[in-house]
Amino acid sequence: MEASDLAAKLLRNTDIYRETGGGITLSGGEPLLQAAFAAELLTCLKGKVHLALETSGFASAEDFRKVTSLCDFVFQDLKIFNAEEHRKHTGVSNNKILANAKWLKESCIPHTFRTPLIPGITDTEDNLRAIGEFVGTDVWEILPYNTLAGAKYANLGKNFRYQLPKFEEM
pLDDT per residue rounded down to tens, the chain (170 residues): 899 999 999 999 999 999 999 999 999 889 999 999 999 999 999 999 999 999 999 999 999 999 999 999 999 999 999 999 999 999 999 999 999 999 999 999 999 999 999 999 999 999 999 999 999 999 999 999 877 767 777 778 887 776 655 545 44
Domain that holds residue 149: 3-169
Residue 88 sits in a domain whose CATH number is: 3.20.20.70
State how far the alpha carbon of 14 is from the alpha carbons of 30, 84, 126, 157, in Å.
25, 45, 44, 40
**Number of structural domains in the chain:** 1
Please tell me the pTM assigned to this model.
0.87
104 exposure class (CB count in 10 Å sphere: 0-12, 13-18, 19+): buried
CA dihedral 33, 12, 74, 128 (to 10 degrees): -80
> In the chain, how long is the greatest CA-to-CA distance?
53
